[in-house]
Structure 1
Amino acid sequence: MSTLTLTLGRPTLADTIFSRSLTTDLVLVSAGAAVTAAMAQLVVPLYPVPITGQTLAVLLVGSTLGATRGMLSMLLYAILGIVGLPVFSEASSGLGVLAGTTGGYIVGFIFAAGLTGWLAQRDWDKKFLGAAISFLAGTGLTFVFGLTWLALVTGGTLEQVLAWGLYPFIIGGVIKAGIAAAIIPSTWKLSAAIASKRNQ
C-alpha cells in the first residue's frame, strides 16, 4: 500500500531524514517558506532591488526538498506575501511587491527551486562541484526572471537593468552558491554516517 505524498520523484536529502508522507511534505513545504521568509529579512538596501538572503534559502530549500516540494514551498512563500504576511524583504507584503521591481525575482524563486530540486533528485547535490553548478544554474534562472520583470516594470535600457538588477549581485550570488554547495554535500555525508551507525 503506497503512502500519499506530494512528490513521487527520486529521494532527496529530506527523504533521508524524514519518511515521505503527505503530512511530512506539508510540514517541509511550510518550513521551506518560513526559512525563505526569515532569510528575506537579511537585507542590504539597494535601489531598486535590495540584496537579501532569499536566494540562498531558495537554493537550500530546492535541493533539500526536490523539485515538486521546492516549487510548492516557494509558491506558498509568494502567496503568503501577496495575502499580506510580512514575508518579503524588509517585512514587506502585498500584490504591489509582486508587481514591483522585485516581483520577477520572487517568481523566479519558484522555478529556481524546481531546477535545483530536479538536479538534486539526479544526485547533482552530493558533491561540491555538481552542487555548485546546480546552484549557479538556479541563481542564473532567478536572474532571468528578475531582470526580465525589472525591464518591463521600469522601462529601463538593457544597461540600466543590468546595473540595477545584476551587477551588484554577481559576487553575492557566487558566494551564496558556494555556501550552499558546501552545506548540502556535507549534510549528505553526515546523514550517511548517521545511517551507517544505526545499521551497525
Structure 2
Amino acid sequence: MAAPAAAITAPGVLADLLPASTRAVAVARDAVLVLGGAAAIGASAQIAFTIPQISPVPFVLTTFTVLLVGAAYGPLRAGLTLALYLVAGAAGVPWFTEGASGYAIPTLGYIIGFLAAAVAVGFLAKHGGDRTIVKTVGLMVVGNVLMYAFGVPYLAYALDLNATEALSAGMVPFLAGDAVKLVLAALLLPGTWWAVNKFRNSED
C-alpha cells in the first residue's frame, strides 16, 4: 500500500520547503544554500569583540548562526556548509573571527566543533527536534556542548592551559550569552514551523 502523499512530501527541515522540481534543480538549490550558509557564517564571525581580561576567545554571533544553519539545513547540507567554511578559512579565506584565516589559531577547535555541532543539530532537527520549545532547547544544548567539547581542549593545547584555566577562559564567560541564544532559538525555530504549518493548512 502506498504511503499518503503528505507523508512523502513532508519537509524534514526548513530548507526542504524550498521548491525543487527536478534533481538538477535540487542540486543547484543545495549548492546555493551551502555557499550562502558559509558566507553567512563568515559574516557573523565578523560581529565579535574580545575582552582579554576575561578570555582570549572572542565573543561572537557565529555560534548562534551555526546552530540555526544546522537546524534549518539538516545534517548533510549543514555538514557541507561548515566543511566549506572550515577548509576555505584554513586555506586563507579571511572569514574566521575578525578576519582571521589559516589553521594556526587557538580557536580552531571551536570551528571544528561548529562542524560537529551543525551536523548533530541538523540530524536532530530532521527528526523533529526543532518543532517544539522543549525539543529545541535540548537541540541547542547538544550543539553548544559539542562546540565546547572540541574548542576547550584545543584551546588548552594551543595556549598551554590546564583544564581549569581552559574552562575558565574558553567556556564559563560564554554561558550567559549561550543561554540568551538558546531562548531566542527556542522561540524562533518552533515559531517558524508553526507559521509554515498554518500556511500549509490554509492552502488545503
Mark yes or no: TM-score above 0.5.
yes
Q: Deviations over 1:52-81 (max 9, x none)?
A: 001000110000000111111111111221
Q: Which runs of 5+ in 2 are unaligned?
A: 1-10
The answer (yes or no) to whether the contact 1:115–1:138 under 8 Å persists in 2 is yes
- Pair 1:43-2:51 in alignment: no
The amino acid of 2:89's aligned partner reads: G
Alignment counterpart, residue 148 of structure 2, candidates 143, 151, 158: 143
The answer (yes or no) to whether the contact 1:136–1:174 under 8 Å persists in 2 is no
CA shift at 1:143, angstroms? 0.3
Equivalent-residue separation in structure 2 for 1:46 and 1:141 (angstroms):
23
2:4 matched residue in structure 1: none
The answer (yes or no) to whether the contact 1:17–1:191 under 8 Å persists in 2 is no
How much is the aligned-residue C-alpha RMSD, in angstroms? 1.5
Alignment of 1:79-158 (within 5 A): 79-96=87-104, 100-158=105-163
Equivalent-residue separation in structure 1 for 2:57 and 2:83 (angstroms):
20
The answer (yes or no) to whether the contact 2:12–2:127 under 8 Å persists in 1 is no
1:15 matched residue in structure 2: 16
The answer (yes or no) to whether the contact 2:12–2:128 under 8 Å persists in 1 is no
Q: TM-score, normalised by structure 1?
A: 0.88
Which aligned segments of 4 or more residues in structure 1 are displaced greater than 4 angstroms? none
Q: Could you say which structure has the larger radius of gyration? A: 2
Q: Deviations over 1:96-155 (max 9, x none)?
A: 2xxx21000000000000110010011010011100110111011100000111111112
Equivalent-residue separation in structure 2 for 1:102 and 1:93 (angstroms):
11
Q: TM-score, normalised by structure 2?
A: 0.87
Q: Which runs of 5+ in 1 are unaligned?
A: 1-9
The answer (yes or no) to whether the contact 2:151–2:170 under 8 Å persists in 1 is yes
